[in-house]
């Protein structure tokens, strides 16, 4: 049973994966929030915020952080740096900067020209760690899932997510599973 955060060595209060390829590396909610700042800055196409968030993320390591975990952290930064550069190009093309996401079956003012496939992500959160307020673990899990789905959607060439759903399923007395899914589509202005 993993009990310590792979990055900071702190108490593992949630089970966020660091990188999908290495599911054994689990990170705490604080490291996960710092990771989400990197993703958020890339999504907003803010180079300065991206730089700061990346440095703060790397600064969370401690003496016990393994080289494999450090390498995974750099993979994440590189991946979203790539997205940032791509966004800058897209900005110049005046294409979508932010992928629209909606719970409905269409994007207002647009028509769907292609279904690219279903995207999804899930995260287990410790029920004990749930606190009222916006930075609660299920909320962070939901944001993480959203970022994972946006990355998957971009990889599929989609420019919007429709039929977005989030479900909360208790796994047992200790964990809650937060599952998100959506259909990745290409839309054009109608």
Q: Which residues bind Zn ion (CB under 5 A)?
A: 5, 7-8, 10, 28, 31
Tell me the closest approach of the beta carbon of residue 28 to Zn ion, in angstroms: 3
5 or 39: whose CB is closer to Zn ion? 5
Tell me the closest approach of the beta carbon of residue 22 to Zn ion, in angstroms: 15
Distance between CA atoms of 69 and 74, rounded to whole angstroms?
A: 9
14 or 153: whose CB is closer to Zn ion? 14
- CA-based nearest residue to 57, from 8, 124, 4: 8
59 or 173: whose CB is closer to Zn ion? 59
How does 31-61 read in b/e, with b if 16+ C-beta sit within 10 Å? bbbbbbbbbbbbbebeeeebeebbeebbebb
Sheet order of strands, 175-189 included = 26-27, 14-17, 110-126, 175-189, 160-170
3 state DSSP class of 111? strand
Tally Cβ neighbours within 10 Å of residue 149.
Answer: 23
Tell me the closest approach of the beta carbon of residue 132 to Zn ion, in angstroms: 22
31 or 184: whose CB is closer to Zn ion? 31
Tell me the closest approach of the beta carbon of residue 27 to Zn ion, in angstroms: 5
9 or 117: whose CB is closer to Zn ion? 9
Tokens 């196409």 belong to residue: 45
Tell me the closest approach of the beta carbon of residue 60 to Zn ion, in angstroms: 6
CB 166 within 8 A of CB 180: yes
């Amino acid at each position: 049973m993993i009990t310590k955060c792979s990055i900071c060595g702190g108490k593992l209060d949630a089970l966020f994966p660091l990188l999908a390829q290495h599911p054994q590396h689990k990170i705490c909610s604080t490291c996960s929030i710092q990771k989400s700042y990197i993703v958020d800055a890339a999504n907003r196409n803010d180079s300065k915020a991206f730089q700061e968030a990346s440095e703060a993320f790397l600064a969370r390591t401690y003496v016990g952080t393994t080289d494999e975990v450090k390498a995974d952290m750099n993979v994440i930064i590189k991946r979203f740096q790539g997205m940032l550069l791509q966004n800058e190009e897209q900005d110049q093309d005046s294409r979508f900067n932010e992928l629209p996401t909606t719970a409905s079956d269409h994007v207002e003012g647009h028509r769907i020209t292609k279904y690219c496939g279903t995207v999804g992500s899930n995260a287990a959160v410790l029920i004990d760690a749930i606190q009222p307020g916006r930075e609660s673990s299920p909320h962070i899990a939901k944001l993480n899932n959203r970022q994972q789905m946006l990355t998957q959607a971009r990889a599929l060439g989609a420019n919007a997510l429709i039929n977005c759903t989030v479900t909360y399923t208790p796994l047992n007395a200790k964990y809650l599973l937060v599952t998100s899914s959506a259909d990745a589509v290409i839309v054009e202005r109608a």
